[in-house]
Amino acid sequence: MNKRHPSVGNLFSGLPGDKVEGEIFDTLQSAPGMRIERIVSTGQVTAEDDWYDQDDDEWVVVLAGAARLQIEGESEERSLTVGDWIRLPAHCRHRVTWTQDNPPTVWLAVHHEPDDQ
| Cβ neighbours of residue 88 closer than 8 Å, sequence gap 6 or more | 52, 54, 57, 58, 59, 60, 71, 94
Q: What is d(CA 73, CA 3) in angstroms, rounded to the nearest whole number?
A: 50
pTM: 0.90
**What are the sequence ranges of the domains in the chain?**
24-112
State the fold for domain 24-112.
Jelly Rolls (2.60.120)
- Residue 1 binned pLDDT confidence (cut-offs 50, 70, 90): low
pLDDT band at 20 (very low <50, low <70, confident <90, very high): confident
pLDDT digits (tens, 9 = 90+) for 37-67: 999 999 999 999 999 999 999 999 999 999 9
Determine the number of helices (DSSP H) and then strands (DSSP E) in the chain. 0, 8
- Binned at pLDDT 50, 70 and 90, residue 5 comes out as confident
